[in-house]
């Protein structure tokens, strides 16, 4: 009887936890962008015609954006912030935009052996990439957006690409 009661309490607690967690999701506005994560927001251009994009990363291997939007041929200033505290040797992050048809798993496997180059392997798979940074650091890379299309982006630090990835959409 005691075991049955404990199972019922445990099941009720799990049900309440699931309900609470599902209720914590970000709300979407009319544009489809999450209010907490405006990843689908239109790119903004400064007075010099440069599209400024900021992506934040943290110590639990996440980018705050899964989608980045840009305009074909525009000059992009992409800033990556590492909001965590861990050093880059332990929890380093970068943001690497890959060319179309790049096999991400193969790229990541080659990146694993490219420590001396901030985990950017040799080859011609990369459109642009930031430097590898650790907690509290920030880096910016400036580049010209490629042609219209959807491109993958990842963190190439060993083991991060499975969680730290997204789409760079050029319109």
Q: Is 118 helix (H, G, I), strand (E, B) or coil?
A: coil
In tens digits, what is the pLDDT along the chain, a chain of 171 residues?
443 344 333 334 333 333 333 334 433 333 334 444 455 555 677 888 899 999 999 999 999 999 999 999 999 999 999 999 999 999 999 999 999 999 999 999 999 999 999 999 999 999 999 999 999 999 999 999 999 999 999 999 999 999 999 999 999
pLDDT of residue 84: 97
Task: Please provide the DSSP assignment of 66-79 as one string.
Answer: SEEEE-TT-EEEEE
pTM of the model: 0.76
CB 93 within 8 A of CB 160: yes
| Torsion angle of the four alpha carbons 147, 131, 76, 46, in this order, in degrees rounded to the nearest 10 | 170
């Amino acid at each position: 009887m005691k075991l049955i009661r404990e199972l019922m309490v445990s099941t009720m607690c799990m049900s309440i936890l699931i309900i609470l967690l599902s209720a914590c999701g970000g709300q979407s506005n009319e544009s489809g962008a999450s209010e907490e994560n405006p990843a689908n927001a239109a790119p903004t251009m400064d007075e010099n015609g440069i599209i400024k994009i900021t992506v934040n990363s943290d110590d639990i291997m996440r980018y705050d954006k899964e989608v980045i939007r840009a305009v074909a041929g525009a000059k992009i200033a992409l800033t990556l912030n590492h909001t965590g505290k861990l050093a880059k040797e332990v929890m380093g992050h970068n943001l690497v935009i890959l060319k179309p048809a790049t096999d991400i798993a193969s790229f990541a496997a080659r990146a694993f052996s490219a420590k001396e180059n901030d985990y950017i392997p040799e080859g011609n798979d990369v459109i642009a990439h930031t430097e590898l940074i650790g907690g509290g650091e920030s880096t910016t890379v400036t580049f010209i957006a490629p042609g219209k299309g959807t491109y993958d982006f990842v963190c190439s630090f060993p083991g991060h690409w499975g969680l730290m990835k997204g789409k760079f959409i050029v319109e």
